Amino acid sequence: MLTDVFDRYRSERPAPAATVDLDRALWARLESLGLTRLSTPEAAGGSGGTWLEAAALLSISAAAGAPIPVAEHDVLAAWLLAAAGLPHDGDLRTVCRPDPSGVAINVTWARDASAVVALWEDRDEWRVADVPVDRVVITEGRNLAGEPCDTVEFDLDDLEEGTVVDHEIGEQFHLRGALARSAQVVGAMERILEIVLVHAGEREQFGRPIGRFQAVQHLIADIAMETSLARAATDTAVARAAASDWRDPGMLFAVAVAKSCAGHAASVVVRGSHQVLGAIGTTLEHELHVLTRPILVRRSEFGSVHEWDETLATLAASAGRDRLWSLITTGRAGSRR
């Protein structure tokens, strides 16, 4: 069903442009199918899916270049509301972490949401608030992908009334966001690989397809290899999250590996795909831009590649020589003998 929905979207979407706006028709279609709150518990009005289904939706929608807030609305905002015991009327939500002054920057889809779900740390407690957009000040902007990416200023009185949630909720938020972005990056890279393979087989130079030239073959091999590695790392983290409901103590390591692999792969895939497609890949009207620009945005959200590399290095150094293998295989360093 997911594949059919987004294959149809890809065939009917307008030509790519410099800016991207929410596709409300597609969002309404997903809502009618119960997919806008796919991973939200049934008791909270969702479809009760697991992270396996959520990750599939994130990847497939990203592969289609669909401008919809699946990660923000379902995976993060709806999850926070359910964790805080707050009602969700089903209207579109986005999510952010405001600073102590009540300002949050780079909030995707804020102008399109009916409310913004805020998560913040209040001394030694984590709090959540569901704030209608008519009670915040939104300064509109756009990210590198041309998507709505705004600054949101909250009334501090609204934040003071936030609901206290368990510490694990605040700690999981960053990991969930990072893994969601990894799933989106991988989905887009897999679609890029398809585009590159088709182009290399059809485009001819000097009387033969360019895919027969060794230099092009090397570029395609690099794209395929990095995409496969990122997919394996992301699927491993998703499986661990689904099996343990995010309670596995090895989740930090698993997400760090996924985010690091996806981030490093993004550089290779974006650069290599534009090289293979050449001049046609630089035209705004080509599908490639719908995929490569969001990839460059997503890889730095919920922690940069450098930050996740540092996390992995810290975990490896803490494990030491004797416990490194345990860290790699289980996500936990284990105990010293």
Residue 76 — pLDDT band, cuts 50, 70, 90?
very high
Tens-digit pLDDT profile for residues 237-254: 999 999 999 999 999 999
Question: What is the pLDDT at residue 275?
Answer: 95
* Interatomic CA distance for residues 100 and 194, integer angstroms: 45
pLDDT at 334: 63
pLDDT 10s digits, 287-324: 998 999 999 999 999 999 999 999 999 999 999 888 98
Q: How far apart are CA 292 and CA 61, in angstroms?
A: 14
Q: Give pTM, 2 decimals.
A: 0.95
Q: Which two tokens stand for residue 135?
A: 């009670």
**3-state secondary structure at position 138:** strand
CA distances from 119 to 10, 63, 79, 201 (A): 34, 29, 11, 48
Whether 72 and 94 have beta carbons less than 8 Å apart is answered as yes
Percent of the chain with pLDDT over 70: 99
Cα–Cα distance list, 285 to 14, 18, 274 (Å)? 10, 9, 14
pLDDT of residue 305: 97
What average pLDDT does this structure show over 214-240?
97
Q: How many CA atoms lie within 13 A of 234 on its CB side?
A: 34
3-state secondary structure of 161: coil
pLDDT, the chain, mean: 93
pLDDT band at 337 (very low <50, low <70, confident <90, very high): very low
Q: Please state which CATH number belongs to domain 168-330.
A: 1.20.140.10
> In the chain, where does the domain assigned CATH 1.20.140.10 lie?
168-330
Q: Is 241 exposed, middle or buried (0-12, 13-18, 19+ CB in 10 A)?
A: buried
Three-state DSSP state, 128: strand
